[in-house]
């Protein structure tokens, strides 16, 4: 230990570029897992020639200043409210120190990696390079293995730990793919493949929206009225797509002809942008249930606002038997790099994402870094929405449910302690998490609505009063679920919307879909209308919603007080008056929200 301290003291006295070459003796562990997450098992050593697309996240030197700016431009009453930052301003706040750039470059060159082989983000806070496993193992002093996900049969090439030279730890936040086992699942529930038949009056409001949700239902339930948005204000609604989920144009056109005939008559359709070798096949047999649900829901609500479907490539599974030459990267990083590269005019004002995973399957360092990337979008005036998940407080199994396999409600820290399972990115404090409801007159919390408290992120100040009030008024949860959740963590969801019995055209047939994959694009559609209301009247878009939502926006929401979100063999939490970890503040009332935001 004394020798190590002397070595570190020597490094501190050296100028950055005069430090000795990195050797395995100077490496210390940067990140490690005690074992693969539940459901994953080691399969074999990774082939040495297997290609990895490594992304190195350099420390963002002034992120604290960016976060402060985010709070200021997002909080009603602050003198900077609505004065969103531009692309160059954000990049200036997240760029690494020159010292960090020089040290990391020197390290890579020591390992024979020419700087010409690197690609860098505009702010230079991400460095991307392709390496075979054999070279990556030397660079990171680790071993990569093929891991198999037993329930699905998917494979990933990952490491249980990686190391860096000691003097680089303060300059690098994260390197992936390494220890991330998240599977990025869509939060959609196909209702047993149920097909439905629509009569000639399909475009009219059904007798009861309890049985079938259409655009007319959503507009009625959420008080949209006859509001007609602009097609030319510069407002854009974005839909993030992953995992080769393809949004079908013919299906969506049929949907619009049936439910929004004026949109079909005008030739209205979402546009597509492909990211990281993404694709969007138009083969009817390959139409994606998640993708079609997303684009048809947003189009039905937001026409004629331009909708863009972003299809990001890089999806599992890796197939070891075929010795696949490339591996998948976490697609959030690819999507964020692309979207942050857009000019301010090109950015969507609202963005919906219906994908996520258990928080604990995402390494803490990577979760924080991805969450910070969403903060950058918020500072630039983008409202970022995520589905809250479809497992209640965990696996969705209530106390009276039969288990057909081992429960997943255990920690993956090697201790296998019983726990609720918060979802990510819904648990990120810089996004708006959307839970689920069903029925109408009144709406109830849908039982699968994901909600709870983060183990990674502390409770942000904007929600401290609301969450504290909920816990104070429901002390039984604190005692009954002690140890299962973190009452001091970022609590979610923030809001909710309808999430059951959505009518979708899929492969030319009418089906019913459910999940917070439905509520998230629904809520995003409503926020896009609010942004249109603001922009067309010369006001800035809402941007990051949560400070506004918890301060005053919640007065424009329908409080949901019936239902709960069971999981992990418990009844979960209850919906109640005010904010709750099942439905958040409730569901939006467009008319009321429009009146609230008008003074700004």
User: Which pLDDT tens digit goes with each residue over 38-69?
Assistant: 888 999 999 999 889 899 999 999 999 999 99
492, containing H or E segment: strand 489-492
Residue numbers in the known binding site for Ca(2+) are 559-560, 578, 580
Pairing of strands 145-149, 154-158: antiparallel
Q: Is 440 exposed, middle or buried (0-12, 13-18, 19+ CB in 10 A)?
A: middle
Question: Does residue 12 carry a pLDDT above 50?
Answer: no
Question: Can you tell me the mean pLDDT for 174-196?
Answer: 70
Angle between helices 63-74 and 364-379 (to 10 degrees): 50
- The reported pLDDT for the residue numbered 244 is 84
Please count the CA atoms within 13 angstroms of the CA of 299 that sit on its side-chain side.
Answer: 34
Count the neighbouring beta carbons within 10 Å of the beta carbon of residue 277: 11
Query: Which among 179, 110, 106 is positioned nearest to 138, based on CA atoms?
Result: 110
Domain positions in the chain are: 25-60+95-176, 185-398+415-597
Distance CA 50, CA 371 (A): 29
Burial-class residue 24 by CB neighbours within 10 Å (0-12, 13-18, 19+). exposed
pLDDT of residue 188: 64
* Tens of pLDDT, residues 356-374: 888 988 889 999 999 999 9
Which of the four pLDDT bands, split at 50, 70 and 90, describes residue 316? very low
d(CA 43, CA 32): 19
Q: Per-residue pLDDT tens for 523-575?
A: 999 999 999 999 999 999 999 999 999 999 999 999 999 999 999 999 999 99
SS3 305: coil
pLDDT for residue 171: 97
Distance CA 120, CA 129 (A): 9
**Does the active-site annotation cover 290?**
yes
pLDDT for 190 equals 54
Active-site annotation holder among 125, 173, 245, 294: 294
Q: CA angle, corner 461, sides to 460 and 462, nearest 5?
A: 95
> pLDDT digit string (tens) for 423-473?
999 999 999 999 999 999 899 999 999 999 999 999 999 999 999 999 999
Considering the candidates 290, 330, 334, 443, report the single residue annotated as catalytic.
Answer: 290
Helix or strand run (H / E) with residue 90: helix 87-94
pLDDT at 328 over 90: no
pLDDT for residue 196:
54
Pick the CATH number of 185-398+415-597 from 1.10.3720.10, 3.40.50.200, 3.40.50.300, 3.40.47.10: 3.40.50.200
87-97 per-position pLDDT tens digit: 999 999 999 99
The 10s digit of each residue's pLDDT in 487-523 is: 999 999 999 999 999 999 999 999 999 999 999 999 9
pLDDT at residue 390 in the model: 94
What are 386's two structure tokens? 């995520």
Angle separating helix axes 249-259 and 289-302, nearest 10 degrees: 40
Residue list, annotated binding site: 559-560, 578, 580
d(CA 407, CA 191): 23
Write down the pLDDT at residue 388.
97
Q: How big is the chain, counted in residues?
A: 600
Q: For position 37, what pLDDT does the model report? A: 83
Residue 508 neighbours by CB distance under 10 Å:
12
How many other CB atoms sit within 10 Å of the CB of residue 546? Answer: 24
pLDDT of residue 234: 95
Choose the catalytic residue: 100, 517, 519, 528. 517
pLDDT category of residue 7 using cuts at 50, 70 and 90: very low
Q: What are phi and psi of 28, to 5 degrees?
A: -130, 155
More confident residue, 294 or 154: 294
| Residue 294 bears catalytic tag | yes
443 is catalytic: no
Q: What is the DSSP secondary-structure string of 414-482?
A: SS--B----EETTT-TTSEEEEEEE-SSS-EE-TT---EEEEEEEPPGGGHHHHHHHHHH-HHHHHHTB
């Amino acid at each position: 230990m004394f020798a190590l301290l002397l070595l570190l003291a020597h490094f501190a006295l050296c100028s950055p570029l005069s430090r000795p070459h990195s050797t395995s003796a100077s490496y210390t562990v940067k990140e490690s897992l005690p074992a693969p997450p539940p459901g994953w098992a080691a399969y074999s050593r990774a082939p040495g020639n297997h290609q990895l697309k490594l992304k190195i996240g350099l420390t963002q030197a002034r992120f604290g200043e960016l976060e402060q700016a985010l709070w200021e431009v997002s909080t009603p009453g602050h003198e900077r409210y609505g004065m969103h930052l531009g692309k160059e301003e954000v990049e200036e706040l997240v760029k690494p120190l020159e010292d960090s750039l020089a040290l990391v470059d020197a390290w890579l060159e020591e390992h024979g990696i020419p700087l010409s082989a690197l690609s860098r983000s505009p702010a230079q806070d991400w460095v991307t390079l392709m390496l075979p496993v054999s070279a990556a193992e030397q660079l990171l002093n680790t071993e990569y293995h093929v891991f198999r996900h037993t329930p699905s049969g998917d494979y990933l090439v990952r490491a249980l730990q990686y190391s860096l030279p000691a003097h680089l730890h303060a300059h690098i936040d994260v390197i992936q793919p390494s220890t991330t086992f998240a599977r990025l699942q869509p939060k959609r529930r196909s209702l047993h493949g149920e097909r439905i038949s629509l009569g000639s009056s399909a475009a009219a409001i059904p007798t009861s929206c309890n049985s079938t949700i259409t655009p007319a239902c959503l507009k009625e339930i959420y008080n949209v009225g006859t509001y007609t948005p602009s097609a030319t204000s510069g407002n854009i609604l974005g839909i993030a797509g992953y995992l080769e989920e393809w949004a079908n144009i013919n299906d969506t056109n049929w949907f619009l002809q049936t439910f929004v005939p004026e949109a079909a008559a005008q030739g209205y359709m979402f546009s597509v942008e492909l990211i990281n070798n993404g694709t969007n096949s138009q083969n009817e047999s390959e139409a994606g249930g998640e993708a079609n649900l997303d684009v048809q829901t947003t189009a039905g609500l937001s026409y004629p606002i331009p909708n863009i479907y972003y299809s990001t490539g890089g999806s599992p599974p890796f197939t070891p038997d075929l010795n696949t030459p490339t591996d998948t990267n976490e697609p959030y990083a690819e999507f964020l790099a692309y979207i942050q590269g857009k000019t301010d005019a090109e950015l969507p004002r609202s963005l919906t994402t219906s994908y996520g995973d258990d928080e604990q399957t995402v390494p803490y360092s990577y979760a924080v870094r991805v969450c910070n990337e969403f903060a950058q979008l918020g500072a630039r005036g983008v409202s970022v929405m995520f589905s809250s998940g479809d497992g209640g407080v965990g696996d969705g199994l209530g106390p009276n449910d039969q288990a057909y396999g081992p429960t997943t409600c255990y920690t993956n820290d090697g201790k296998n302690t019983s726990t609720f399972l918060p979802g990510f990115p819904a648990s990120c404090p810089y996004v708006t998490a959307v839970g689920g409801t069903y029925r109408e007159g009144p709406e109830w919390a849908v039982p699968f609505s994901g909600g709870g408290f983060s183990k990674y992120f502390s409770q942000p100040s904007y929600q401290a009063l609301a969450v504290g009030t909920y816990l104070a008024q429901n002390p039984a949860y604190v005692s009954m679920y002690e140890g299962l959740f973190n009452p001091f963590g970022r609590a979610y969801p923030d809001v909710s919307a309808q999430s059951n019995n959505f009518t979708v055209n899929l492969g030319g047939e009418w089906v019913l879909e459910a999940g917070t994959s439905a509520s998230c694009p629904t809520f995003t559609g409503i926020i896009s209308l609010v942004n249109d209301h603001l922009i067309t009247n010369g006001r800035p878009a809402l941007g990051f919603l949560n400070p506004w939502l918890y301060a005053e926006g919640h007065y424009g929401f329908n409080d949901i007080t019936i239902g709960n979100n069971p999981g992990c063999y418990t009844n979960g939490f209850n919906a109640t008056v005010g904010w709750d970890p099942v439905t958040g503040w409730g569901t939006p009332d467009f008319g009321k929200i429009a009146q609230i935001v008008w003074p700004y």
